[in-house]
Structure 1
Amino acid sequence: MRGYMGKFLERIMEISRLISSGNYPNREQLAEKLGVDKRTITRYIAWMKNQLNAPIEFNRKKNGYIFTRPFDLFPDGLSSDQVLTLFLLNKVSKQLWDNDTKLSPEKIISRVKNYIDEKIITGVEDKASRINFRIGKPRVFDSNTYSHLLEALFENYQCKISYFSMSSGPSERVIEPYHLINIRGDWYVIAYCHKRKEVRTFALSRINKIKVLKQPFTVRDDFNIDEYLAYSFVIERGERKYKVRIRFAPEVAWLIGERIWHSSQSIEKLDDGSLILQMELSGLNEVKRWVLSFGEYARVLQPPELIDMVANTVERIDKLYKSSG
């Protein structure tokens, strides 16, 4: 099964090609060619009219669809920079989906090439070969999980999942997918959970089974993805907000100062070359692990809860190494 979005784009291009042939294909013929039902064809035709302003009309005498004027999916052509962007997106996608060709847009690109001058393709392929990405290997998950979630997300269908939670173990849940997000190479779905009666975050790597239910839902009016993740250091959300203050030694202060670690951050530079990073976060486990990665060069100043978490972890590490001889 290819990715839901990939299938959608391929079908739109195929419908455009078949109608452009001048053979007046009807719903039944298009459905048979694409391997879908007639209602799906009706939705695709409506989408092309509304989103692409495609001049599609049904000719009753010919019993089929026709473009009333010339129609091109790429009316202004594609510049070499736009084609390069497409090739680079393909490189990124291969890493995001761990080179799973079922989810890669490679087949879409091969079709798009039919609309592009060969000289542009040759030049772009050379440029793309000199640019690469290393965004980290994603956690392993079934490609069907991603495809099913896309379908549920775009059609507003509920899903039934078997999920493993780090805190409560395995469980069966019905969720309503609101948002799919990739953070640092890992995929998560933000969804309303019927079991917990609130919006939760689910890692795709921990979804063992998934079934798309044909039960529609409506996204809550008060949901906003930016607000939902506003106080997350990465993806973790807690029940309350904390003012986090961390002092970094001069040896690593330059590293801290050259990046935006969180949208709420402020930096205070001190005379000895060290600095204090301040952020407002709602979860402390992710920032705890981050602080520990700097070893003796980072010291938590606030809140007391984070100080205790880091100190307890350091104490356990110390005991581990001392006991190992």
Structure 2
Amino acid sequence: MNNHFLFPFDSHQIRDSLNLPLSDNIMELTGHISYEMSEEKVIDPNLFHDLMESINESHQIRIKYRNLKGLTQTRMIEPSHLRNSDGQWYLFAWCHFREELRVFHVSRIIRWSCTDMSFEKEMKSDELAISLNSSFGIMLNKKNCQTVFLRFTGKAISLVKGKIWHEEQSVEVTEEKVDISFPVESYEEILRVVLSYHVEAEVLGPPEFRKIWQYKIQEMAGKFI
């Protein structure tokens, strides 16, 4: 395995999903299968090790974190879960500063130090499962969610038709378009998705998100045209 972005394995998830009889020459067949992530960010393997150790030992870890505005913050956290979404690693952790479960981009952790302080917040598995199952990428806290409205046209129709964006999504399909709406906590990740479909994707709302999308298009045009 040369791609460490597929590590660590979720062996139970893999086992449960393989509900099919396996051929005797399964190892031979694996040579005919390959994976490519749409986007990958290099993560220090030492950071992965220490995060997993923190989860395993239930010891708090101190991180220096760079937010979207480029500002650095020091947080004491209690890691619970690592998730890879489209090549991006996210850390679900109890944040002592915010006093709530938060999601951190692992690639934005610029420094960290392990501690011997035990977890103070007992994160129940069902509580974490609800957050994981109801999230789109970095969405987490429903009370902070906004519903986004997207429209796809042209070739994008066949690409997004039948796609599950969120368990609470609403979809309207016609021959000319696919309209999809679902809740998000942050516009950041879904903005990247919309821009990846170029002129065949449009943000219909909310107005704040549409302005952000339009500004990003204008910014790119001003830089490259």
Interval containing the TM-score (normalised by the shorter chain): 0.7 to 0.9
| 1:188-227 aligned within 5 A | 188-217=90-119, 218-221=121-124, 224-227=127-130
Change (3 A) 1:200 1:208: same
Residue 257 of structure 1: CA displacement?
0.3
1:257 paired with 2:161, answer yes
| 1:127-166 aligned within 5 A | 127-136=29-38, 138-166=40-68
Contact 2:136 2:166 in 1 (8 A): yes
What is the TM-score of this pair, normalised by structure 2? 0.77
With a CA cutoff of 8 Å and minimum separation of 6, indicate the structure with the bigger relative contact order: 2
Change (3 A) 1:124 1:247: closer
- What's 1:51 paired with? none
Residue 301 of structure 1: CA displacement?
2.1
- What's 2:206 paired with? 303
Runs of 4+ in 1 over 6 A off after TM superposition: none
Contact 2:139 2:184 in 1 (8 A): no
- What's 1:292 paired with? 195
> What's the CA shift string for 1:286-307, capped at 9, x where partnerless?
2222222222222222211121
Residue 221 of structure 1: CA displacement?
4.6
- What's 1:248 paired with? 152
- What's 2:182 paired with? 279
Gaps of 5+ in 2: 10-23
Change (3 A) 1:141 1:277: same
Change (3 A) 1:294 1:130: closer
Contact 2:79 2:93 in 1 (8 A): yes
Contact 1:96 1:138 in 2 (8 A): no
Residue 269 of structure 1: CA displacement?
1.7
Residue 153 of structure 1: CA displacement?
0.2
Contact 1:269 1:276 in 2 (8 A): yes
Residue 281 of structure 1: CA displacement?
2.0
> What's the CA shift string for 1:90-140, capped at 9, x where partnerless?
x4xx42348xxxx789xxxxxxxxxxxxxxxx9444232222222356322
Change (3 A) 1:157 1:259: same
- What's 2:3 paired with? 95
Q: Give the aligned residue type for 1:315.
A: Q
Change (3 A) 1:140 1:256: same
Give the structure with the higher percent helix. 1
Contact 1:96 1:137 in 2 (8 A): no
Q: Give the aligned residue type for 2:40.
A: P
Separation (CA, whole Å) in 2 of partners of 1:138 and 1:287? 17
Separation (CA, whole Å) in 2 of partners of 1:285 and 1:318? 19
Contact 1:141 1:206 in 2 (8 A): no
Gaps of 5+ in 1: 1-90, 106-121
Contact 1:249 1:275 in 2 (8 A): yes
Residue 223 of structure 1: CA displacement?
7.1
1:170 paired with 2:72, answer yes
- Max Rg structure: 1
Change (3 A) 1:321 1:205: closer
What is the TM-score of this pair, normalised by structure 1? 0.56
Contact 1:178 1:219 in 2 (8 A): no
Aligned to 1:288, what secondary structure does the other structure show? Answer: helix
Equivalences, count = 209
